[in-house]
Amino acid sequence: METRVVIVGAGETGCELASRLGKQHQVILVENKIDCSARVGDPVELLVLDQTIAGRRGVFWVRGDGSSRLVLDTLHDPDANSALVAVAGDDRVNLEVGRLGRETGFDPVVAVQHDTTNAELYRQHNVTALDRTRLLADQVERSLRAQGAVVPSGIGLGRGELVEIRLLNASPVLKRPLKDLAPYRWRVAAVFRGEELIVPVGDTELEVDDRVLLVGDPRVLSTVVEYLRKGTPQFPRPYGPNVVTLEPTGEDRGLAEEAEGLACACGAAHLRRGLPGVEDNDLDNETEPLTVPMCKGDTRRGTFSAPGLEHSDFTARVMRQRPGVVVARASGRPWYRRLLGLGGGDADLCDRLRVPVLFARGKFPYRRVLLTLSGSGLDIPAAELAIDLTRQLEAGLTAVNVDLPQYISGLSEEKAHEEVEPIRKLCEMYEVPIEYRHHEGNPVRHILAETRSHDLVVVARRFQRRDTYFDPDVSLRIARGARCSVLVLTVHPGE
């Protein structure tokens, strides 16, 4: 897929950047004040842009307001990798360009930051900000360390052949010896772990948060960087390779269709349907593939005879299907279990299976995913699951936090929003845009209201969580009352 880079601001920085990128990409300079055609690029009319430069690389410039949504909509190419760079001389302009660029669909969005006090605003809009002051200070510091010699801003040949990345916890190279990677036209040159420099050898193993210096052919290094840094989305494979349904009363068409869509979209190995009174298919001998058009892998379908939840062999029978996610219908609680604060069948199901349970509502594909926050240690594992699934399905992600009213909780405005900060940082690392919503009042009521505009909710709960009137199991109450599907992650002790 071709890459289109839109640069808003045709001053010295914008023109220099365009001239560097124009040899490999289609670069569009946007400026509404000056004519920069004498310096770089060919002029193009905005209204006939796509017809004029379709399939062409090089530098082109258009006269227009880069902080206009209409202009950015016209410049964004949904059939290409569309990146946006804001290099205007005013942070107010760059912030507006970045905000609208994110809403339009540009990714990545990068801006030059002129005032360090605006860092928080850039972060809120999910814009990668390059602090001009710090970049200059870093350059001067390196020059002083080099005894006054001029240190070029581009390292090596300045063509992207030397790159530093930070490894995330989804990286596929963690805890693997470098000699197992079999690199071709690239190498790991150094590893920085905390304050320590590690000169790598074949047996060196990489860890989360390692800063890894790579050297290689620029034509392959960008792909290598993306894979090594954060890997590819894995859901449901961290738990198991298969999507497994539970249909205890017989064929459930809506549930099966949702499970089939999820299995195909995530590239699961098998869709295993648990039905009463059917023969078990040997996983290794199944030959009937799924035929959903968007199937990412060689996903195949099969069946197994699923006993009822009350059966002593239930857990072992289901887990033999190697589920990565179990798809079921939510059920209610008998009155006596509600009275005693005990969970019903939903709680038993989540506690007995050490995999996420999807309570289906027949709403697939998932275009909008809702992540619930509680301010507890459950937020991070829930967020990691939601981010992985969001990346896998190319969906939008919203986080919602519900607190007691301020006059009861006594929380300041700053404290009330603390829960979302680590989630924002996690999303930034995986380059997943996130929308945040905060409410005060009853968490179940507010979250259920949010489910009306979403397709999937991701919630986390603790193993054997009691559910009383004064201390409810919010996750399972949402699973029973939501208007959309709910994915419940049960966190066991020690996890």
Number of domains in the chain: 3
The pLDDT score that the predictor gives to residue 220 is 65
d(CA 75, CA 493): 51
pLDDT tens for the chain, 495 residues: list them. 678 999 999 888 888 888 888 888 899 999 887 555 446 778 888 888 888 888 788 899 898 899 999 999 999 988 888 999 999 989 999 999 999 999 999 988 999 999 988 989 998 888 999 988 888 877 676 556 534 434 345 556 655 577 788 888 778 788 888 887 767 678 899 999 988 999 999 899 999 889 888 888 776 676 677 777 777 787 887 788 899 999 988 999 999 999 999 998 888 888 999 998 887 775 545 445 555 444 555 678 888 988 888 888 899 999 999 999 999 998 876 666 666 656 667 888 898 998 999 999 977 899 999 999 987 778 888 998 999 899 989 899 999 998 766 645 555 566 656 778 888 888 887 788 999 998 888 888 899 999 999 999 999 988 888 776 667 788 888 888 888 999 999 988 766
Tell me: do 223 and 104 sit in the same domain.
no
Tell me: do 133 and 161 sit in the same domain.
no
- The pTM of the full predicted model, rounded to 2 decimals, is 0.58
Among 207, 230, 253, residue at a domain's last position:
230
Tell me: do 398 and 426 sit in the same domain.
yes
Say if 254 falls within a structural domain: no
The pLDDT score that the predictor gives to residue 48 is 86
Say if 401 falls within a structural domain: yes
Tell me: do 194 and 117 sit in the same domain.
no
The pLDDT score that the predictor gives to residue 147 is 41
d(CA 456, CA 289): 26
Say if 364 falls within a structural domain: yes
Say if 238 falls within a structural domain: no
Say if 67 falls within a structural domain: yes
The pLDDT score that the predictor gives to residue 178 is 86
Say if 245 falls within a structural domain: no
CATH number for the domain harbouring residue 414:
3.40.50.620
> Range of 60's domain?
3-140
Q: How many CB atoms lie within 10 A of CB 97?
A: 30
Say if 82 falls within a structural domain: yes
Specify whether the CB–CB gap between 237 and 231 falls below 8 A: no
Say if 352 falls within a structural domain: no
Among 169, 204, 230, residue at a domain's last position:
230
Specify whether the CB–CB gap between 425 and 382 falls below 8 A: no
Among 193, 212, 230, residue at a domain's last position:
230
Strand order, beta sheet including 242-246: 300-305, 270-275, 242-246, 323-328, 357-359, 485-491, 456-462, 368-373, 396-403, 434-440
